[in-house]
Chain A
Amino acid sequence: MDRTEILIQINLIFKDTLDNEELVIMESTTANDIEEWDSLTHIQLIVAIEKTFKIRFTSKEIQEWKNVSEMIDCIKSK
């Protein structure tokens, strides 16, 4: 799966999990850009991404991402 496909999937997951249809997630997006993205919903997002891509993140990975781009790197590496 290439980066664009992953980004499209991530957009769907964010919209559903954060219950906001108007969200647009870019590679450069960070938690600061999105009101609903807090430490709690972060966990919901992680779990949803793990489910969708059938992967598991390590605890270290979850805490290291600075933006969506790094998240995609991580997904691609699995």
Chain B
Amino acid sequence: MKKEFSELRKNLKKDNSTLKSIKVAILGDTSTQFLTQAIKGLGYDYGFNLLMIEADFNQIERQVFDSNSELYTFSPEIIIIFKSSHKLLQSYNKTNSDREFIASKEIELVNQLYLSITSQLNSKIIFYNYTEIDDSVFGSFANKIESSFLFQLRKLNMDLMYFAAKHNNFLICDISSVQNLIGKNAFFQTSVYINTEMVLSIDSLPLIAAKTLDIINVLNGKIKKCVVLDLDNTTWGGIIGDDGIENIQIGSLGIGKAFTEFQYWIKKLKERGIIIAVCSKNTESVAKEPFEKHPDMVLRLDDIAIFTANWGNKVDNIRSIKELLNIGFDSMVFLDDNPFERNIVRENIPEILVPELPEDPAEYLEFLYSLNIFETTAVSSEDKERTKLYQIEAQRNVIQKQFANEDDFLKSLEMKSIVEPFNKFNIPRVSQLSQRSNQFNLRTIRYSESEIEKISTSNLYRTFSFSLEDKFGDNGLICVIILKCISPTELFIDTWFMSCRVLKRGMEGFVLNTIVDFGLKNGIKQIIGEYLPSPKNDMVKDHYQNLGFIKDSNQWKLALEEYKPFNNYITIKNK
């Protein structure tokens, strides 16, 4: 599937003017002309118009330490730095003493480069790690000699990782793993090296370009978030419906090993924050049985955010998984052993990634590893909670289908809400929601944290925050009201926004009941609401009308004397 270098070069002649342009600088201590062409050419296939400058080779320090250099004039979004192992070996050769400090000195230089760049530019740095070469002076004994080249080279790669772990804008592109994949002899070509100043073979260029563009892709928000798994012959060997739970292949014997290892990989992805969904043509109870009962299954039901097993077609099922998760098709990957299913999905949903799994399940993992599907540039602790949130949402959807009557469903949820004014514990979340909330937001007035703090202590305002939990889980703070006192008997609803996660739960009625109750206890006769249209808040244009407010020019008014509380199934929870 990977293109050859000469094909990538042909991309350079294509019209890329409609693609997203990104400024990239390449700094190398060897000649980088082919590398630049390969990256720019492959950039076209990734949908980028890469505007690239290339420093003359061996100009890394000059470009970085001279603040008048082309690098700073160009002001790239991405800087690729490629310091080669061959140059490192050359400088090692010239060093007669202190060879055990080569790695530390190199890291110090990297640090200086990093500091100099980040003090002047807001660029991301993609640093190529060092490919493994050995001068074979000590043989294997080099592993015991700190001053050997091999020792220093390996230490340097390790130290680079520690350095990258501490610096956000410093990303390592693991070209050493490319060398590992294709072998040293294919990675380095003496004829190329001797006749040019290039240390990368022609055949390695497309792979290195791909490794680089995978990072650029992620930096531009193109990230995979969800794996949709087929079950029979993908997650385990055999067909559960025909073979039965005792005959499917999984575990430590024979081909079962391949499926077990595949499942461990999926499990690690889940732990990293990738959402795992199942899409299988099966009877649901039969498909779930191995997850519940098979002793060798690595994946269990609580690893799966959405479990879809039915006899419908996979395209529809994947569409509904996508709807439930509220993510784009382009962030989904579909793994299925059946070429027929793969093709149908590919044809109907071109955005989804459908790897062409090898015929032999033993090869699944090595093949998937080579695709580098799950490149990322950040992981957060929140990622790990994600599966749980989606599972809870899916459970609610299932339960809802079981109730013919909406009220019975809402009653069954056992909803509770904490209602409290703004305080130092909820202010950060209130201001965060104020910045982010778009759809269910009546006036879309954005308040910063310090403004929210001022409002919370002002006599002119009354503030309410609402949380919502139910028997499935806690949604946390999901609704905010700011009331402004405009006369002794009138309140104006300055702010009303709510998370769309809790739509259709009767929350709106509960909130209004709460406000009216507060008003009645404080001598208020009338509450005034207003809807300010924004490009995204169309969903609430009839909000006040639905709640029984009467239109008065551009505002909506509610007389408290005649107010009849809304029926709802949310109870107040005291903290």
Q: How far, in Å, is B202 (CB) from chain A's closest CB?
A: 5
Q: Which of A17, A40, A47 contacts B189 (CB 8 A)?
A: A47
- Report the stretch among A1-9, A24-32, A56-64, A65-73 that lies at the interface: A56-64
Chain B contact residues, majority secondary structure: helix
Residue A19 CB within 8 A of the other chain: yes
Question: Which residues of chain A come closer than 8 Å to B9, judged between CB atoms?
Answer: 19
Question: Which residues of chain B come closer than 8 Å to A59, judged between CB atoms?
Answer: 190-191, 194-195
Which A-chain residue is minimally distant from B192 (CB atoms)?
A: A43
Q: Which of A17, A39, A40, A50 contacts B191 (CB 8 A)?
A: A50
The answer to whether B6 and A48 have CB atoms under 8 Å apart is: yes
CA A19 to CA B12, docked complex, whole Å: 11
Question: Which residues of chain B come closer than 8 Å to A75, judged between CB atoms?
Answer: none
Chain A contact residues, majority secondary structure: helix
Question: Which residues of chain B come closer than 8 Å to A62, judged between CB atoms?
Answer: 191, 194-195
CA A46 to CA B196, docked complex, whole Å: 12
Give the size category of B's interface with A.
10 to 19
The answer to whether B195 and A19 have CB atoms under 8 Å apart is: no
Which B-chain residue is minimally distant from A44 (CB atoms)?
A: B202
Question: Which residues of chain B come closer than 8 Å to A40, judged between CB atoms?
Answer: 33-34, 196
Give the size category of A's interface with B.
10 to 19
The answer to whether B10 and A47 have CB atoms under 8 Å apart is: no
Q: How far, in Å, is A57 (CB) from chain B's closest CB?
A: 6
* Contacts known (A19-B10, A19-B13); A43 close to B5, Cβ less than 8 A: no
* Contacts known (A19-B13, A59-B190); A43 close to B195, Cβ less than 8 A: yes
CA A62 to CA B196, docked complex, whole Å: 12
Question: Which residues of chain B come closer than 8 Å to A47, judged between CB atoms?
Answer: 189, 191-192, 201-203
Question: Which residues of chain A come closer than 8 Å to B196, judged between CB atoms?
Answer: 39-40, 43
CA A63 to CA B10, docked complex, whole Å: 27
Q: How far, in Å, is A42 (CB) from chain B's closest CB?
A: 7
- B165-211 contacts to A, CB under 8 A, are 189-192, 194-196, 198, 201-203
Question: Which residues of chain A come closer than 8 Å to B190, judged between CB atoms?
Answer: 59
- B104-152 contacts to A, CB under 8 A, are none
CA A57 to CA B190, docked complex, whole Å: 10
Q: How far, in Å, is B129 (CB) from chain A's closest CB?
A: 25
Which B-chain residue is minimally distant from A56 (CB atoms)?
A: B191
Question: Which residues of chain B come closer than 8 Å to A19, judged between CB atoms?
Answer: 6, 9-10, 13
Q: Which of A17, A42, A43, A63 gathers the greatest number of chain B CB atoms within 10 Å? A: A43
* Contacts known (A19-B13, A40-B196); A46 close to B191, Cβ less than 8 A: yes
CA A57 to CA B5, docked complex, whole Å: 20
The 8 closest A-B pairs by CB, nearest first: A59-B194, A47-B202, A17-B6, A19-B10, A43-B192, A43-B196, A43-B195, A62-B195
Taking A43-B191, A59-B194 as given, write out 14 further A-B residue pairs in contact, using a Cβ cutoff of 8 Å, ordered by the A residue number. A17-B6, A19-B6, A19-B10, A19-B13, A39-B195, A42-B195, A46-B195, A47-B189, A47-B191, A47-B202, A47-B203, A56-B191, A62-B195, A63-B195
**Residue positions of B touching A, CB distance < 8 A:** 5-6, 9-10, 13, 33-34, 189-192, 194-196, 198, 201-203
